[in-house]
Amino acid sequence: MLDLSIKIDASAVLAALDKVSDSRELEGMAGYVADQVVLPALLKYPSPSGKAQPFMSDKQRRFFFAALRSGRIRVPYVRTGNLGSHWAKQPFNMGMTLQSTEDYSEIVIGESQAKYFKGTWPSVTQTVLACEGDAALAATAYLVQLIGDAGP
């Protein structure tokens, strides 16, 4: 009779799993996905719509033309790129929060998006949903690298 014994050294696997389950690494993965996928998508500006800004009241119309005469605003509006590039990242337990630092972001791309911007600017929700597949690929790439780095 022949007896075989097989011994599996799972220490490398266990070390890799420990590293992958570390909440700091999950925050790192969330930051990687934000940097590689979400923030670049938010940097993309749509083409100018060219549609006229509807005035909601006479007071708003008077303010607009007074500001135009004084030079406080220019038409067409100068696009600065700030909306897409000014985002603060705040890590939290196993994730990352992105917050726009521009005070007008809510009316342009937020959930309270003004009618003027609907159909021209994708909302944050639409942008994030469009990034879902690429985000999954980026997270997978991060995990593969993490596991590879955790090896013997």
How sure is the predictor about 80, in pLDDT bands with cuts at 50, 70 and 90? confident
Q: Which two tokens stand for residue 50?
A: 């060219």
Over residues 69-90, the mean pLDDT reads 87
pTM: 0.75
Instruction: Determine what percent of the chain is predicted with pLDDT higher than 70.
Output: 97
How sure is the predictor about 5, in pLDDT bands with cuts at 50, 70 and 90? low
Strands 87-92 and 95-100: antiparallel
**Whose structure tokens read 């959930």?**
111
Residue 123 has pLDDT above 90, yes or no: yes
Over residues 98-107, the mean pLDDT reads 92
How sure is the predictor about 1, in pLDDT bands with cuts at 50, 70 and 90? confident
Q: Which two tokens stand for residue 133?
A: 């597949």
| Cβ partners under 8 Å of residue 53, min gap 6 | 64, 116
Over residues 81-102, the mean pLDDT reads 88
DSSP for 131-145 reads HHHHHHHHHHHHHHH
- Mean pLDDT across the chain: 86
pLDDT, tens digit (0-9, with 9 covering 90-100), for 6-40: 777 777 777 777 777 777 888 888 999 999 999 99
Query: Higher model confidence: residue 87 or residue 25?
Result: 87
